[in-house]
Amino acid sequence: MSSARVALVTGSSSGIGEAVARRLADDGYRVVVNSARSVEAGEKIAASLPDAVYLQADVAQEQDCHRLVRETLDRFGRLDVLVNNAGTTRAIPHADLEAATPQVWRDIFAVNVFGTWQLTVAAMPALRSSGDASVVNISSLAGNRPAGSSIPYAVSKAAIEHMTRLLAATVGPRVRVNAVAPGLVETPWTRGKDFFAPIAEQVAQLAPLRRVGLPEDVAQAVLALLGAAYTTGQVLLVDGGSHLR
């Protein structure tokens, strides 16, 4: 069996997750591509990578998290990197408090917060066995600024960032835990949405780097954190400097 390192990237059938999966494959990782629903797209991406497999699982379901880890180990025999990218949101104006119903909160937290937590817990024994393992959580600029597609989404990302710090303080030294917090990124989900064009124009005018982000920008940051052997508990903003404005 190959000794090449193995990375599991959730929500990797498109957008940021796909870019991360491709970047890790380019760096020599064997990659597990995952999605909850987009099976055909996920299988196509896995087939295009040198040594990858697609595994369908919904991280909001605890039993799926355990199955995903088990099937990863059955296929590759090890797990060295977990990238918790799977996420969901609802576009709700922040001032529309009534629209952010408790059910909306439950739906968003089920994937973004509980999914990140229960997959990390399920993967921890395998990660600890690696001896040099990393978890990278995908947060958002909305997790530490009053921004984002909805208040429940922003709060879920804030929870992920504090979870990152708490886990890092708990699971070292064998496992490092960090997060990447992108600003506005052009993905298949954002492209064409009514809210995207005016915000993208504003970012391009105000951010020091004068453009919105690309999925590849986030993938590069993930790879940088994986190579930062003395870094844990950090949240790396990848926003072109938008937070400075």
The active-site residue out of 29, 54, 153, 230 is: 153
Rounded to whole angstroms, the Cα distance separating 156 from 139 reads 9
Walk me through the domains of the chain, giving residue ranges and CATH numbers: 6-238 (3.40.50.720)
Q: What is the pLDDT of residue 235?
A: 98
**Shortest CA distance to 78 belongs to which of 21, 10, 133?**
133
Residues facing residue 31 across a β-bridge: 7, 52
Query: Nearest to residue 175, comparing CAs of 137, 233, 134, 234?
Result: 134
Distance between CA atoms of residues 45 and 53, nearest Å: 9
User: Which of the four pLDDT bands, split at 50, 70 and 90, describes residue 52?
Assistant: very high
Instruction: Give the residue-averaged pLDDT of 161-170.
Output: 98
Kindly state the average pLDDT of the residues 60-65. 98
Concatenating the DSSP letter of every residue in 72-134 gives HHHHHS---EEEE---------TT-GGGS-HHHHHHHHHHHTHHHHHHHHHHHHHHHHHSSEE
Confidence at residue 37, expressed as pLDDT on a 0 to 100 scale: 94
Q: CA 63, CA 83: separation in Å to the nearest integer? A: 19
pLDDT digits (tens, 9 = 90+) for 35-51: 999 999 999 999 999 99
H or E element at residue 183? none
Q: What is the pLDDT of residues 95-114, one digit of tens each?
A: 999 999 999 999 999 999 99
Q: Is 54 a catalytic residue?
A: no
Residue among 221, 7, 6, 10 at smallest CA distance from 114: 10
pTM of the predicted protein model: 0.94
Task: Report the SS3 class of residue 181.
Answer: strand
What are the distances in angstroms from CA 8 to CA 34, 71, 158, 227, 239?
8, 11, 23, 16, 24
Mean pLDDT, residues 232-241 taken together: 96
Which whole number is the average pLDDT over 133-157?
95
Which residues are CB-contacts of 37 (< 8 A; sequence separation ≥ 6)?
none
Q: What percent of the chain has pLDDT over 70?
A: 97
pLDDT at 190: 73
Quote the mean pLDDT of the chain: 94
